Amino acid sequence: MPGKARISKGMRSHSNGTALKPGASRHQNGAGHAFTVTEREAVYRAIFERRDVRRNFLPTPIPHHILMRVLTAAHHAGSVGFMQPWDFVVIRDRKTKQAVKDLFVDANAKAARRYTRRKGELYRRLKLEGIEEAPINLCVTCSRQRGGPHVLGRATVRDTDLYSTCCAIQNLWLAARAEGIGVGWVSILDHSALKRVLGVPKSVKVLAYLCLGYVSNFATQPDLETAGWRERIPLEHLVHYESWGNERKGKR
Amino acid sequence: MPGKARISKGMRSHSNGTALKPGASRHQNGAGHAFTVTEREAVYRAIFERRDVRRNFLPTPIPHHILMRVLTAAHHAGSVGFMQPWDFVVIRDRKTKQAVKDLFVDANAKAARRYTRRKGELYRRLKLEGIEEAPINLCVTCSRQRGGPHVLGRATVRDTDLYSTCCAIQNLWLAARAEGIGVGWVSILDHSALKRVLGVPKSVKVLAYLCLGYVSNFATQPDLETAGWRERIPLEHLVHYESWGNERKGKR
């Protein structure tokens, strides 16, 4: 599979790339604080094998201490002005999940109308959430007033609190992958309605609604890539040197 | 150090928590796709030892293939509708860094005025960027029109493209930590002015300006925690069960 091949190739280059020559001081080349090759490959494995999971959830409960580990990982993201603006609402109750699923069904019916013909047919065949199958649902929020009116680093870019919360979500996503737990981000939801379901205060922003659970299988590439919805863009098309649009590396 | 102690304690609980009992099937307990303990601890190590780096950058250049590895990690974040809205502008030119540093100095002088007395004195002593010392600066952007007008999953939550880009940044941050590369996110910058310096088109949004380099030392806790700017919030204060404000786990 192309996704698999690309990942393996990437992983191989990782092992070769920073192998130290015999006798070379790790400090001389600046990589004195690099992980061992094994550790580094584990980090890349989590990054490349993380998937947005909507199917194959198992009913196996996630033990509380493991949930706490992935939440601790989230909580150790950096945040603007050390604001730590996130909160986590853990949902296990079937009725709550059902209410959220209803919100999804509404929002998805509206979204489906945007696509016609082949794309419309394809859209309707996609599985875009695992709300009821996943043992745990998790709502991640951002409390925008936390830390008072003058949060360090936020005067220039107001939304950095949202950005920090997303970094926390990615930490959680990768930690979960290492634990063998699949995570799916459901964005096809009316967040105002979702806040009413969960009792989230008006001043708090919902960032993400995640479905967590052990899975029978992790896909080797994104579902939307497999379904032919959209292809991965070659990285070199996305890298610019010194200024926008300059695709050549090296001095200007 | 309290930060260090907390991390070690966390790491210990990771190793104990999912150790499988002899004879237990990995699949039975649902964790069949979990990493080995060593791999898992490497992922948590990256998460807990990642720092927002503003000091201790070494002049050692980052080899191109290693830069490409961390950018590949960024590019493997999930994105709404597989939109992959990010671009990366790699800056090595001293003059460009100088121009960006000038923007920082302006924005920081304005920001400092918000703090008075002890907090003002403390603010002025903080080192908040390593723009000129870091061998590589990286501007991460989000092209909001990529993927056309109807990006799957974005009809309900328009800003999910920004959220995806933040997830890509966190991937890069963790991959860099594994490589021994420090990353600092500089948010005290006027993004409109920054776009003019880098030639970023009007329709493209700047998400982050990052400083990358090998470092002589990774701090054991966030600089702002060490400086006494703000403390880490206990995780249990941030977790709600079933609905907002409910701090007890278990059934309602």
pLDDT at B160: 96
For residue A187, pLDDT over 50 is answered with: yes
The yes-or-no verdict on residue A16 having pLDDT over 80 is no
- CA-nearest residue to B142 within chain A is A238
Q: Which residues, at least 6 apart from A117, have a Cβ–Cβ distance to it below 8 Å?
A: none
Assign domain B51-238 to its CATH architecture.
Answer: 3-Layer(aba) Sandwich (3.40)
Region A18-36 average pLDDT: 60
Q: How close are the terminal C-alpha atoms of chain B, in Å?
A: 39
- Rounded mean pLDDT, A164-173: 98
Question: What's the CA gap between B138 and B91, in Å, rounded?
Answer: 6
Mean pLDDT over residues B224-251, rounded?
Answer: 91
pLDDT, residue A5, reads 34
Q: For residue A9, what pLDDT is reported?
A: 37
Option in B65, B93, B198 nearest A252 (CB): B93
The interface predicted TM-score (ipTM) is: 0.89
**β-sheet bridge partners, residue B183:** B52, B212
A244 and B199 in contact by Cβ < 8 A? yes
Residue A156 to residue B107, Cβ atoms within 8 A = yes
Q: Which of B82, B107, B177 sits opposite A222 (nearest CB)?
A: B82
B66-80 tens-digit pLDDT:
999 999 999 999 999
Residue range B92-135, pLDDT digits in tens: 999 999 999 999 999 999 999 999 999 899 999 999 999 999 99
Give me the sign of the Cα torsion angle B45, A146, B229, B168: positive
User: SS3 for A136?
Assistant: strand
Lowest mean pLDDT among A42-56, A96-110, B7-21: B7-21
Q: How far is CA B27 from CA A24, B37, B41, B116, in A?
A: 43, 16, 20, 58
Q: Please check whether residue B183 is in contact with residue B121, taking contact to mean a CB–CB distance below 8 angstroms.
A: no
Q: Do B88 and A58 touch (CB under 8 A)?
A: no
Domain chopping of chain A, boundaries:
1-18+29-49, 52-238
What is the percent of chain A where pLDDT is above 90? 83
Phi and psi at B107, nearest 5°, equal -65, -35
Rounded Cα–Cα distance for residues A6 and A231 (Å): 13
> In CATH, what number does A52-238 get?
3.40.109.10
Q: What is the pTM assigned to this prediction?
A: 0.89
B191-219: per-residue pLDDT in tens? 999 999 999 999 999 999 999 999 999 99
* Residue B252, pLDDT above cutoff 90: no
